[in-house]
Each structure stands twice: as structure tokens, then as C-alpha cells.
Amino acid sequence: MEYRDRLTDIINFLPDATWAIDTEGTVIAWNRAVEELTGVKAESIIGKGNFEYAVPFYGCRLPILVDVAITPNLEQERHYKSFRRDGDTVEAEIFVPHFRPGGVYLWAKARRLLDAAGNVIGAIETVRDITEHKRMQERMVQTEKMVMVGGLAAGMAHEINNPLGAIMQHAQNIERRVSADIPANLKAAAEVGVDLALVRTYLQKRGIFDFIGHIRSAGMRASEIISNMLHFSRRGDFGAEYVDLSVLLDRVLELAGSDYDMKKKYAFSGIELQRMYANGLPPVLVTVADMEQVLLNILKNAAQAMVGAAPGRQQRITLRTSTAGGMVLIEIEDNGPGMDEAVRLRIFEPFYSSKAVGAGTGLGLSVAYAIVTKGHHGSIEVTSQQGAGCCVAIRLPLQGRDS
């Protein structure tokens, strides 16, 4: 008992969440830091066994790292994102999706406890929430990736623009060369003894005009993709002005409500919109057209994700604004199906799309990323988990954009 009391006193001063079990799996120590992390008080868990200490983290009873420190468990070790054993000490990293909304990354280290004779009498584990550290790493990797891809996108766009322009122009010229409204066409047809009206009838019956129309519509879609690629690669600093974010968000919601695709495909009018704007926010310097594009794209993605998801449940999009650390925060959260961690990590990659083929270009969020980070010196990130909705957070500097 004296040993356990001393152990409790020691680990209570440790800054990281720390607890200990005996060889029977009974909790013998639970420090204040783990109380804050899990919300579980020491008096309610000390003395309990049967993997009770796993419940606050995983929502169920199962062996965790402190158990693996005592008894190696290959099946459990495979669940960790990384795992390392060094003598009596084990170290691991894991993503826990259900621990908090959006999930958390945890780093943990556990070690066997030995008595004076060297016999194993239990194990101790310490856990650190490294979510913010991991998010920062993701942002750095994403930024480096975008810098490289930005140059590639600009080069590709310029190279594709020329042949695409020729295709579009020649498709238009074909339509003009068989038009009965142009005298030169009638003259050329008469010179070779051809009835232009019959030629047009033949082309109509064989669907030639439809083919030409498809060429032009595909060309327009390709042109839109190229425009997005160029937008992705440029700074977009022109036309910046100070705006009231509440007014800007309300205007974007009006645009979303009048957008044809939003009304017809995604039933935007049936989505409940919650506005949770902070009072007294100072004006923020933005390029209005660019920021409207970012916000409208996020809203469209949210609406599209909720189509057919959880029938009978009221679809909802919540817009929030606040300030923190010299930045203004815009959050757009939906109660749709969410996404798994693998999709979330790739969500800003150019040409990556989780939608069906033909439903998107895969450039929407990558363009939004470029506009927010390069054009406004802010940040944008997504938190989500499968079946629990999605939240896009945009942070913009309150003091404008440094050159």
C-alpha cells in the first residue's frame, strides 16, 4: 500500500496523462493529467480491472499499450500507426477517431514495473495528445506539395490552352460552314452542285450536330478546369477590400440558394442553415470574389455530401465566426456522412476527388486552399470522421495580408 501511495504521489506531478496497473490489470494509479484528458476521475477508476482504463479512449474494453508492455500481443500491436519495443519499454502512436469530435492523435509510452527482486508487478503508461503537432505537420507537407504542384499546374494549363483553343474554334467553324445563313456557304454549295439544306438534313439525321455540341461542351468543361488550374497557381491579391464577414457569409448563402445545381441537384432549400456569428468582429481584408468562390465551393461540397445520407434526418449546415490569436475563424460544419482519415488527408490534393466519375474535377478544394493560403496568408483545414459530419475551418489574419 505504501508503494502504491508513493507511486500515486509521483505520477500526479507528471504533466502527461499517466496511469499504472498491476499484473491483474487493476488500476493502481491515475494522475490528474489523465483525469483532464479523459474526464474520468481517479476515485471512479482506481481499483477497477477488466480493461476499464481502455473505455475512456476507445469506448470498449480491450488490451492497450500498458497491457502490451506486460505481455506482447502482436494482434494489438498491428492497430498502432507506429510501434516500437525496446527491452521493457514499448512506444506507439495511434489515431483514435471516437475519442473527441474529429478524432485525436495520441503518442504513448509504457514500461513494465519491477520490484526489488526484478519481478514484474505491473506496468505504467503515459499518453500525450499530439493532434495539434500532427495537424501542423500535415499543413507543412500540404504547403510544400502545393508549391510544387502550383508550378506544374500553371505549366500544364498554358500548354493545354493552345490546342484546346484550336479544338473549340474549329468546332465552331464546322457549325458555321454548314449554316444556310452565310452567303459564302450557299455559293460554295451551288458551285459543286450540292443542296445545302439536304446536307444539313443529313447531318441532323446522323447526329453530327450533336457530336459537335458534345465537343464544344467538353471543351468548355476543360476550359473551366484550366481556369481553375491557373487560379490555383497564382496569388490572387488583386481587388482586396475590408468586409464584414457576416455580410459576406449571408451573401454567399444567397448565391448558394440561387445556384441552379444547388437548387436542382442538392435541394439546398431543404437544408437547415444555422448562423452563429460572433458579435463585433472587425472587418477582414479579402479578395471578395475569391473568398466567395471558396465559401460557395465548401457549401456545395457539404450539400452534395448530404444527398441521400441518413434519410429522414434533418440536413444541417452551421456557419460560425470567432477570433483567436490575431486570426478570424470561419467554420462551416455539416451533419453529413463525413469521411475517413485516408480521404481527409488527401482532400486538398489537386485532381483528387471522392465523388463519382464526372461529378467533380477534384480541383475545388485545392483552389480554395491556394486562395486562402497564398492569396490571403491564412490557413484552411478539415476535421471529420466517418458518419459524423465534416467541419471546414478557415483562419484569416485580422491585420490584413503581408506582402
Eight-state DSSP code of residue 371: I
Cell output for 150? 502550383
Find the mean pLDDT for residues 112-123: 89
Helix H or strand E segment including 39:
none
Write the pLDDT tens digit of every residue in 216-267: 888 887 877 776 566 545 544 456 889 999 999 998 888 787 665 666 666 7
Length of the chain: 403
**Averaged pLDDT, 79-85:** 86
Percent pLDDT > 90 in the chain is: 26
Residue type at 247 in one-letter notation: V
493560403: which residue's cell? 373
Alpha helices in 96-237, H assignment, sequence order = 131-177, 183-191, 196-205, 208-233
Q: Report the alpha-carbon distance of residue 242 to residue 288 in Å, rounded.
A: 9
pTM over the 0.85 mark: no
Rg (CA), the chain: 30
- Residue range 181-215, pLDDT digits in tens: 899 988 998 889 889 889 899 999 999 999 998 89
pLDDT at 237: 47
CA dihedral defined by 153, 158, 162, 167, rounded to 10 degrees? Answer: 20
The phi, psi pair for 34, rounded to 5°, reads -75, -25
- Distance between CA atoms of 253 and 273, rounded to whole angstroms? 9
Kindly report the number of other CB atoms within 10 A of residue 148's CB atom.
9
3-state SS assignment for residue 231: helix
Neighbours of 63 (CB within 10 A): 16
Rounded Cα distance, 289 and 229, in Å: 17
Order of strands across the sheet with 17-22?
Answer: 27-30, 17-22, 120-129, 104-114, 89-96, 82-86
